């Protein structure tokens, strides 16, 4: 293999970091080859350590809805830096971020800031259990809710990408608290509730799945989740780490008109800095310490730099609804470039091409995609300067920074790459 600065860095990284990366999907294991090491980003483009330029459709796996180095983020972080990097004490901006989240996502009546999506889902689950006094959780096969012990069951994202069975290190007692159903399968969920209804604390769902590739909810799926949970005294948790502020300003719950009991948020809420959140009904959230007995805490929670960046992005999105129209139009153009025989799933600016001519509505369908062909397609795109998620089981993200020229360059690359991947 030809040595480049990136390949040298990868060899060096593997000596000190497991697999050379700090999150598994980045390692290119399922598509072959080694990852470019990124030196910098600007708008919709990134530049690697060898000076190669790419149009970026990962956007840090979702947070960068405004693109790299957007001025509102840079200005907010620069201003916050003049005040200090961390206090571990309350600040006024945390209230402003909480109020902004409440205004944009009305089901979130109270919100607690944490540092990662995993922390958000882990905490939401604990709150659901503490509030209901029940232990069981229902999740859907192929959905991924971070690396929370009890949620690493039939998980998507990196777990699906690497073809791993459920992770070693998770005590059986933890995974036994998780029941699974196929995504979009209402009869399977009804059966689970028939058998276990009074023990189920919560159903957690990616309202648009992004972690087995993009899979939209079937018509009526969310309404059934809402009805079954309400009828059984269970909570409905929308994991909007990926979809929050992305598929609509109010997230997937606004798009589909569903009011979950709890919501987890991440990615866009931090504007590219590490923030996540969980929130929901006031009567539930007041169970969280110190107002209630359910414990959850964090030294860097509400970090001022991250809060500033997140607040700037959310305010910008709220003030510019036309961004969502633009995202819709640009992503639709990309979706339309697929030839016959490829299944395209898209919701707003989340999109996946599956190498199958059959509809993809759940994890089994997604696994039927020809992943070898995906690997060839991925590398053909990369060779043409288009940086896609290196996994069939992840969604790509269009940002407001993608220009008409980016989209048309990408469409040309798509046409060639689909042909080369055959």
Rounded to a whole number of angstroms, the minimum distance from the CB of residue 241 to ligand HOZ is 9
Q: Using the rule CB under 6 A, is 26 a contact of ligand HOZ?
A: yes
Q: Using the rule CB under 6 A, is 25 a contact of ligand HOZ?
A: yes
- Measured from each CB, the residue nearest to ligand HOZ is 23
Q: Which is nearer to ligand HOZ, 61 or 238 (CB)?
A: 61
Rounded to a whole number of angstroms, the minimum distance from the CB of residue 124 to ligand HOZ is 17
How many secondary structure helices (H) and strands (E) does the chain include? 15, 14
Q: Of 239, 261, 365, 406, which is the active-site residue?
A: 239
Q: Which residues in the 313-352 window bind ligand HOZ by CB under 6 A?
A: none
Binding mask 198-227 for ligand HOZ (x = CB under 6 A): -------------x----------------
Comparing C-alpha atoms, which of 368, 409, 375 is closest to residue 390? 375
Q: Using the rule CB under 6 A, is 387 a contact of ligand HOZ?
A: no
Distance CA 245, CA 264 (A): 12
Radius of gyration of the chain (CA): 21
239 is catalytic: yes
Please report, for residues 330, 354, 376, 413, the alpha-carbon distance to residue 341 in angstroms, rounded to integers and kept in the order given: 22, 9, 16, 18
Q: Transcribe 230-272 into DSSP letters.
A: HHTTPEEEEEETTTTTTTSTTHHHHHHT---SEEEE-GGGGTT
Comparing C-alpha atoms, which of 251, 327, 279, 272 is closest to residue 112? 279
Q: Which is nearer to ligand HOZ, 23 or 86 (CB)?
A: 23
Q: Which is nearer to ligand HOZ, 23 or 291 (CB)?
A: 23
Q: Which residues in the 48-77 window bind ligand HOZ by CB under 6 A?
A: 61
Q: Using the rule CB under 6 A, is 239 a contact of ligand HOZ?
A: no
Q: Which is nearer to ligand HOZ, 200 or 204 (CB)?
A: 204
CA–CA–CA angle 132, 138, 139 (5° rounding): 135
Rounded to a whole number of angstroms, the minimum distance from the CB of residue 67 to ligand HOZ is 17
Q: Which stretch binds ligand HOZ (CB under 6 A): 19-27, 191-199, 358-366, 401-409?
A: 19-27
Q: Using the rule CB under 6 A, is 121 a contact of ligand HOZ?
A: no
Residue at token pair 């991947």: 421
Q: Which stretch binds ligand HOZ (CB under 6 A): 23-31, 161-169, 308-316, 363-371?
A: 23-31
Rounded to a whole number of angstroms, the minimum distance from the CB of residue 268 to ligand HOZ is 13
Comparing C-alpha atoms, which of 254, 298, 295, 262 is closest to residue 281? 262
Rounded to a whole number of angstroms, the minimum distance from the CB of residue 41 to ligand HOZ is 14
Q: Is the dihedral of CA 168, 169, 170, 172 positive or negative?
A: positive
Burial of residue 141 (CB within 10 Å: 0-12, 13-18, 19+) is buried
Q: Is the dihedral of CA 33, 410, 269, 40 positive or negative?
A: positive
Distance CA 125, CA 275 (A): 18
How many CB atoms within 10 Å of residue 306?
Answer: 25
Please report, for residues 165, 177, 209, the alpha-carbon distance to residue 408 in angstroms, rounded to integers and kept in the order given: 40, 48, 27
Q: Of 144, 183, 278, 324, which is the active-site residue?
A: 144
Q: Which of 157, 232, 301, 417 binds ligand HOZ (CB under 6 A)?
A: 157
Q: Which is nearer to ligand HOZ, 130 or 156 (CB)?
A: 156
Q: Which of 394, 400, 407, 417 binds ligand HOZ (CB under 6 A)?
A: 394
Distance CA 317, CA 147 (A): 29
144 is catalytic: yes
Q: Which of 11, 17, 18, 23 binds ligand HOZ (CB under 6 A)?
A: 23
261 is catalytic: no
Rounded to a whole number of angstroms, the minimum distance from the CB of residue 336 to ligand HOZ is 25
Residues of the shown chain interacting with ligand HOZ in the complex, contacts defined by CB under 6 A: 23, 25-26, 61, 144, 157, 211, 394
Q: Give the residue numbers annotated as catalytic, written as ranges.
A: 144, 239, 267
């Amino acid at each position: 293999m030809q040595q480049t600065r990136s390949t040298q860095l990868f060899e060096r990284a593997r000596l000190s970091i497991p697999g050379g990366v700090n999150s598994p999907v980045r390692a290119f294991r399922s598509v072959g080859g080694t990852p470019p090491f990124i030196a910098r980003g600007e708008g919709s483009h990134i530049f690697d350590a060898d000076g190669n330029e790419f149009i970026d459709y990962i956007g840090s796996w979702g947070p960068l809805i405004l693109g790299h180095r957007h001025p509102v983020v840079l200005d907010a972080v620069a201003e916050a830096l003049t005040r200090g990097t961390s206090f571990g004490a309350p600040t006024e901006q945390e209230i402003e971020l909480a109020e902004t989240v409440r205004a944009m996502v009305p089901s979130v009546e109270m919100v607690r800031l944490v540092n990662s999506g995993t922390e958000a889902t882990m905490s939401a689950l604990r709150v659901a259990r503490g509030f209901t006094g029940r232990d069981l959780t229902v999740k859907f096969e192929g959905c991924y809710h971070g690396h929370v012990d009890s949620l690493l069951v039939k998980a998507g994202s990196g777990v699906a990408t690497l073809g791993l069975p459920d992770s070693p290190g998770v005590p059986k007692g933890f995974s036994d608290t998780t029941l699974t159903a196929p995504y979009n399968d209402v009869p399977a969920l009804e059966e689970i509730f028939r058998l276990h209804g009074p023990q189920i604390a919560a159903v957690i769902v990616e309202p648009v799945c992004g972690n087995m590739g993009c899979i939209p909810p079937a018509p009526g799926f969310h309404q059934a989740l809402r009805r079954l949970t309400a009828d059984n005294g269970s909570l409905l948790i929308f994991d909007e780490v990926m979809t929050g502020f992305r598929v609509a300003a109010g997230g997937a719950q606004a798009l589909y008109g569903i009011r979950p009991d709890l919501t987890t948020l991440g990615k866009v809420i931090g504007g590219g800095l590490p923030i996540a959140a969980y929130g929901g009904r006031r009567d539930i959230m007041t169970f969280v310490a110190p107002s209630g007995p359910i414990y959850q805490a964090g030294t860097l929670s509400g970090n001022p730099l991250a809060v500033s960046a997140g607040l700037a992005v959310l305010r910008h999105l709220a003030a510019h609804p036309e961004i969502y129209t633009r995202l819709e139009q640009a992503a639709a153009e990309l979706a339309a470039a697929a030839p016959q025989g490829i299944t395209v799933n898209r919701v707003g600016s989340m999109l996946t091409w599956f190498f199958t001519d059959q509809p993809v509505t759940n994890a089994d369908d997604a696994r039927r995609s020809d992943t070898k062909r995906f690997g060839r397609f991925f590398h053909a795109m990369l060779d043409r300067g288009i940086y896609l998620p290196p996994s069939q089981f992840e969604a790509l993200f269009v940002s407001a920074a993608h220009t008409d020229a980016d989209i048309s360059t990408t469409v040309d690359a798509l046409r060639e790459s689909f042909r080369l991947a055959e």
